[in-house]
Amino acid sequence: MQTTEISGIKLYQFENLLSFDNLVHFITSRKGGYSKGEFQGLNLGFNVGDDNWNVFRNRKKLSDITGIPIENFTFSEQCHSSNITFVRNSLRGCGATDEKYSVKNTDGLATSIFETCLIIQVADCVPVLLYDSEKHIAAALHAGWKGTISYITGKMIEKLLHFCSSRPENIYAGIGPSIGPCCYEVGEDVYREYKLSGWTKKNVISPGKEQGKYYFDLWQANKQQLIDIGVKPGNIEIASICTKCNSEEFFSSRASYNNTGRFVAGIMLKKK
Ligand SMILES: [Zn+2]
């Protein structure tokens, strides 16, 4: 990944997605912003316990430094599902300044509409950004353990292939900063759900330090879902940045016992 700092805000960007002139994307960090205390820095999530006025000012600052009008930011009401919504003009700007107007009940957003910035909020869960360079479609996904087990990344690619006539070889993917296999220890409940899902692969879950504990590699799991449907491994970039190991730089639920802010991944098609 590359980093860039503008007016105190530090953004991360995938090298593979940066090569497309007509695409804008970013992953925010904690650097910059008005929030204080547990939410120190650029908290972009409303209703996590932070002062919503600070969150609004943080979103406005992100808008200012990216040059994307705040009314083009499009948020969803993430619910750890594998539900996907295609964002049309009428949904552009949903949730940008008031969470209650977010796109309902969805963890995957896709669009072929210009100047519509799809945004996913995270703090340990995996943000996945996708771009179809031939059909000019952008997508953003929220893949925590539930979304990953319910195959959200694979389902998004299947929908692009089925509804948009995408070809997997034209799809580029970035798997963003999130809790890494170094830190993501889960219990029997998650392991059981994973086994029951019918979707199991090598190198995704490995034994933990104690009996009944397992390490869940969400990066590898989401990469595998892309590869299974034909996305070229060379088109997939993994940030390999663990949010729990780097909780000064990124909000991490596990590092802060769920009392923390949210950073975001955004992607937008620009007019050529
Ligand atoms: Zn870690």
Q: Determine, yes or no, domain membership for 220.
A: no
- The answer to the question of residue 184 being in a domain is no
How much is the pLDDT for 212? 95
pLDDT for residue 203 is more than 90 = no
CA distance 140 to 265: 8
In a domain? residue 206: no
Asked if the structure places residue 93 within a domain, the reply is: yes
Strand partners, 110: 86, 139
How far, in Å, is the centroid of ligand 1 from the Cα of 272?
39
- Ligand 1 centroid to 247 CA: how many Å? 9
pLDDT tens, position by position, 37-88: 999 999 999 989 999 999 999 999 999 999 999 999 999 999 999 999 999 9
Instruction: Write out pLDDT tens, residues 91-115.
Output: 999 999 999 999 999 999 999 999 9
> Model-level pTM greater than 0.95?
yes
What is the pLDDT at residue 200? 80
pLDDT tens, residue by residue, 236-258: 999 999 999 999 999 999 999 99
Q: Look up the CATH number of the domain holding residue 81.
A: 3.60.140.10
Task: Give the distance (Å) from ligand 1 centre to CA of residue 125.
Answer: 13
The range of the structural domain enclosing residue 60 comes to 2-177+230-269
Position 199 scores a pLDDT of: 82
Cα of 180 from ligand 1 centre, angstroms = 5
- Does residue 218 belong to any structural domain of this protein? no
Domain tally for the chain? 1
The pLDDT tens digits for 1-26 are 999 999 999 999 999 999 999 999 99
Is 99 inside a domain boundary? yes
CB of 49 closer than 8 Å to CB of 39: yes
Alpha carbon of 55 to ligand 1 centroid (Å)? 27
Q: What is the pLDDT of residue 56?
A: 98
Helices 152-164 and 218-228: crossing angle in degrees, nearest 10, is 30
By CB atoms closer than 10 A (0-12, 13-18, 19+), residue 67 is: exposed
Cα 211 to averaged position of ligand 1 atoms, centre (Å): 20
The helix/strand/coil state of 205 is: strand
- C-beta atoms surrounding 189 within 10 Å: 9
| 53 domain residue, yes or no | yes
Kindly state whether residue 250 falls inside one of the protein's structural domains: yes
